[in-house]
């Protein structure tokens, strides 16, 4: 981290409260003492900008203030060292959060990819079933259409009229779809009759 990218610590004479909670004046003063090493540590661990390190150090200072108020019997001999250790724990927590977030994004991406693959396989299987119900002529026209040939291209290929080919193909497809719909209706009827 270049020297010029260090942020200066703003000194305060009194305790104050920020978004993380109350910070005692002596804890804030200790934060000033560890501010430069804190910036370096946050940059090394998180590749964080100084502003992020500042926020995390304030969070650490608020946490130390709360800990001291909860346990009044415990005396902290070296407040800057204690604060810096707290800061390091918070930086590690932040790193884990980032890692978990990245892992969740990766998992969601993988799930989306798997779902897309499953849908592709399902479509392909449905496509193959559909082709199996076609006669040879309809299957040939169907495959040419899936290869982006137009009915005019197919007409030149089959040496027939494009309008005739389109009508015959549509009639065959409509027949297949009607048979499928009837089979599905009968299956639903059978299932309904079996239910108690």
* One domain for residues 149 and 97: no
* One domain for residues 33 and 68: yes
pLDDT at 117: 76
Give yes or no for residue 1 having a pLDDT over 60: no
Residue range 29-56: mean pLDDT, rounded: 86
> Of the spans 12-26, 102-116, 124-138, 158-172, which averages the highest pLDDT?
158-172
pLDDT at 13: 66
Residue range 77-81: mean pLDDT, rounded: 90
Which range marks the domain in which residue 165 is found?
133-194
* One domain for residues 16 and 85: yes
Residue 63 lies in a domain: yes
Reported confidence tier of residue 3, pLDDT bands at 50, 70, 90: very low
* One domain for residues 146 and 190: yes
Task: Locate 110 and state its tokens.
Answer: 């993988």
pLDDT tens readout for residues 138-183: 999 988 988 899 999 999 989 999 999 999 999 998 998 898 888 8
Number of domains the chain is built from: 2
* One domain for residues 147 and 92: no
* One domain for residues 12 and 78: yes
Residue 148 lies in a domain: yes
* One domain for residues 100 and 161: no
**To which residue do tokens 């969601």 refer?**
108
Residue 177 lies in a domain: yes
* One domain for residues 86 and 141: no
Residue 37 CB burial class (10 angstroms; 0-12, 13-18, ≥19): middle
Count of other CB atoms within 10 angstroms of residue 35: 22
The Cα–Cα gap between 49 and 45 comes to: 11
CA atoms within 13 A on the CB side of 156: 4
Task: Please list the residues that pair with 21 across neighbouring strands.
Answer: 18
Task: Locate 29 and state its tokens.
Answer: 């003063």
Of 106, 125, 145, which residue constitutes the final position of a domain?
106
pLDDT tens readout for residues 45-58: 887 788 888 888 88
pLDDT at 161: 94
pTM over 0.75: no
């Amino acid at each position: 981290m270049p020297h010029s990218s260090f942020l200066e610590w703003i000194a305060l004479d009194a305790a104050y409260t920020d978004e993380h909670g109350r910070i005692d004046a002596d804890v804030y003063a200790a934060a000033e003492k560890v501010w430069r090493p804190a910036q370096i540590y946050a940059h090394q661990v998180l590749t964080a900008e100084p502003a992020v390190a500042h926020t995390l150090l304030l969070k650490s200072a608020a946490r130390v203030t709360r800990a001291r108020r909860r346990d009044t019997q415990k005396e902290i001999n070296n407040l800057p060292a204690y604060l810096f250790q707290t800061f390091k724990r918070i930086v590690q927590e932040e790193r884990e959060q980032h890692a978990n977030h990245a892992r969740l994004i990766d998992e969601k991406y993988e799930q989306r990819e798997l779902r897309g693959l499953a849908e592709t396989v399902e479509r392909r299987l449905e496509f193959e079933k559909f082709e199996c119900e076609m006669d040879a002529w309809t299957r040939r026209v169907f495959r040419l259409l899936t290869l982006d040939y137009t009915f005019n291209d197919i007409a030149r290929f089959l040496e027939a009229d494009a309008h005739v080919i389109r009508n015959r193909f549509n009639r065959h497809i409509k027949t297949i779809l009607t048979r499928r719909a009837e089979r599905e209706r009968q299956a639903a009827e059978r299932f309904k009759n079996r239910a108690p």
